[in-house]
Amino acid sequence: MSRWQPNARGRLEQAALELYAERGFDQTTVAEIAERAGLTERTFFRHFADKREVLFWGQDALIELVTTCIADAPGSASPIDAVGDALRAVGTMFQGRREHARRRQAVIAANPGLQERELIKLASLAAAMAEELGRRGVPEPATKLTAETAVAVFKVAFERWLSATRDTDLAHVIGDSLDQLKALTAGT
């Protein structure tokens, strides 16, 4: 192995995405990922529990960002506005990462087990949003309705962002999707 180089996590993630695209997720081993990144398997396992986590490792940071934004929303903010602001903050996390996100989604779309993991991740996000809305005094079932709606808005906006033919900002696409939802619910 070569001398230490920075960004081992990023290099492992890049190598994994390349190999998943070339060979498929199931046909790629941790040893191959580590070798492609110029690292050891031991280094891989310092950063990721398994090869799935290369695709999902940011879940905790995402949930923390969303719940913090909901908690910090003004007291006068409606539940949908509080989660909307949180989702737009998530959009800024993806700035400059659209190609990476496209490659990641292509890997997930090609593997039913990874699709299931993605759904679990989104369910965890909805549960965390609902819990935080409850802390703000939003009653049931409004907490769950708002959180599940927010996840649906995020999914639709994310797909729109990935498939856009021109470079666009995910936070803007999320805001536009929320505006369309509000227009639908207002009957306009």
Per DSSP, the residues of 128-156 read HHHHHHHHTTPPTTHHHHHHHHHHHHHHH
The answer to whether residues 113 and 163 touch, using CB atoms and an 8 Å cutoff, is no
User: What is residue 1's predicted lDDT score, i.e. its pLDDT?
Assistant: 46
Q: Is residue 43, in this structure, part of any structural domain at all?
A: yes
Q: Is residue 1, in this structure, part of any structural domain at all?
A: no
Q: What is the pTM of this model?
A: 0.89
Q: Is residue 83, in this structure, part of any structural domain at all?
A: yes
Q: Structural domain of residue 29, as residue ranges?
A: 8-54
Q: Which tokens hold the place of 182? A: 């509000």
User: What is residue 96's predicted lDDT score, i.e. its pLDDT?
Assistant: 87
Query: Do 169 and 77 share a structural domain?
Result: yes
Tens of pLDDT along 64-123?
Answer: 999 999 999 999 999 999 999 999 999 988 888 899 999 999 999 999 999 999 999 999
User: What is residue 124's predicted lDDT score, i.e. its pLDDT?
Assistant: 97
Q: Is residue 2, in this structure, part of any structural domain at all?
A: no
At 14, give phi and psi (nearest 5°).
-60, -45
Identify the residue with better confidence: 1 or 187. 187
Q: What is the CATH number of the domain that holds 34?
A: 1.10.10.60
